[in-house]
Amino acid sequence: MTVADDDVLRRSLSDALIDRVVDLIRSEGLGPGDRLPAARDLAKRFAVATPTIREALRQLQATGAIDIRHGSGMYVNAALDRIVIANPNLPVLDVDQLIELIDARLVIEPHLAGLAARRGGAATTVALRRALDAAEQHLADGNDARLHEANMAFHRAVATASGHRILHEVLDSLLSVHAGEQREILLIFDDRSLDHDEHRAVLAAIEAGSEELARDLMRRHLEDVAAAVARRRSTTP
């Protein structure tokens, strides 16, 4: 057997073990936060060496399906049932790619805001209000890191409120993988008050059930951000 053949067999075994662990999670009704058996117990259950099952578990961790906490154990993550998986190994984006990132959000987020307004209901807007209340607090205390977290929580909450699972996951992947770039955008678009006011306007349109207005306001908000980044590109040597 060649080294290449050995690699193929190892990968095939790892893939099979990944499927068996996922089947175990689902057959036993384990949900997010539930603890998995220890690696050595899984190894015995599947009749493989412990290092072999650990390799499969590391791959599951890389996709966000499980969370391995050293000294505590392994736990099921909500990402197990994701359809869109983020790539955690992407390089840092340059300014042109930052603009493309916002362009991608422009395609997705206005539609999500419109869907959120269409669904309506008080339960839909609770998380939106909570995120903007937190943003207002950090706008006042000058904590930019927490302000950024609150702003991203608002955009994620709009996606959740839309009820569109696939686009929600696409947006969440963009915001999660490119978190550093999103913080850079916040620094470039340095009118914190305007940013917050635009978020409040989107929330008001969603609460009013104004689908078209919610779409338009989200689009204008992201266009303002894109314009600020474009201005940075034109002034960068």
Q: Please state, in angstroms and rounded to a whole number, the distance separating the CA atoms of residues 127 and 153.
A: 8
Q: Pull the structure tokens for residue 12.
A: 């095939």
205 in the same domain as 116: yes
Residue 89 maps to a domain? no
47 in the same domain as 72: yes
Q: Please state, in angstroms and rounded to a whole number, the distance separating the CA atoms of residues 20 and 152.
A: 35
Give the pLDDT of residue 8.
42
Beta bridge partners of 147: none
Q: Please state, in angstroms and rounded to a whole number, the distance separating the CA atoms of residues 57 and 176.
A: 22
Q: What is the CATH number of the domain that holds 204?
A: 1.20.120.530
Residue 90 maps to a domain? no
Q: Please state, in angstroms and rounded to a whole number, the distance separating the CA atoms of residues 135 and 153.
A: 9
Q: Name the CA radius of gyration of the chain, rounded.
A: 22
Residue 92 has pLDDT above 90, yes or no: no
224 in the same domain as 122: yes
Q: For the segment 154-206, what is each residue's pLDDT rounded down to a tens digit?
A: 999 999 999 998 899 888 888 876 566 666 666 666 678 888 999 999 999 99
Q: For the segment 222-234, what is each residue's pLDDT rounded down to a tens digit?
A: 998 888 777 766 6
Q: Pull the structure tokens for residue 20.
A: 């068996």
Q: For the segment 123-166, what is each residue's pLDDT rounded down to a tens digit?
A: 778 889 999 999 999 988 988 888 888 988 999 999 999 999 88
230 in the same domain as 118: yes
Q: Please state, in angstroms and rounded to a whole number, the distance separating the CA atoms of residues 151 and 137.
A: 12
C-beta separation of 135 from 213 below 8 A = no
The helix/strand/coil state of 74 is strand
**Residue 87 binned pLDDT confidence (cut-offs 50, 70, 90):** low
C-beta separation of 169 from 82 below 8 A = yes
The CB density around residue 7, as the number of other CB atoms within 10 Å, is 10
48 in the same domain as 122: no
Residue 59 has pLDDT above 70, yes or no: yes
Q: Pull the structure tokens for residue 23.
A: 């089947």
Count the domains in the chain.
2
**Domain span at 20:** 3-81
**Residue 81 binned pLDDT confidence (cut-offs 50, 70, 90):** low
Residue 209 maps to a domain? yes
Residue 114 has pLDDT above 70, yes or no: yes
Q: What angle do CA 174, 103, 172 make, to 5 degrees?
A: 20
- Comparing CA positions, the residue from 216, 1, 228 lying closest to residue 109 is 216
User: What's the pTM value of the predicted model, to 2 decimals?
Assistant: 0.65
188 in the same domain as 73: no
Altogether, the residues listed in the chain come to a count of: 237
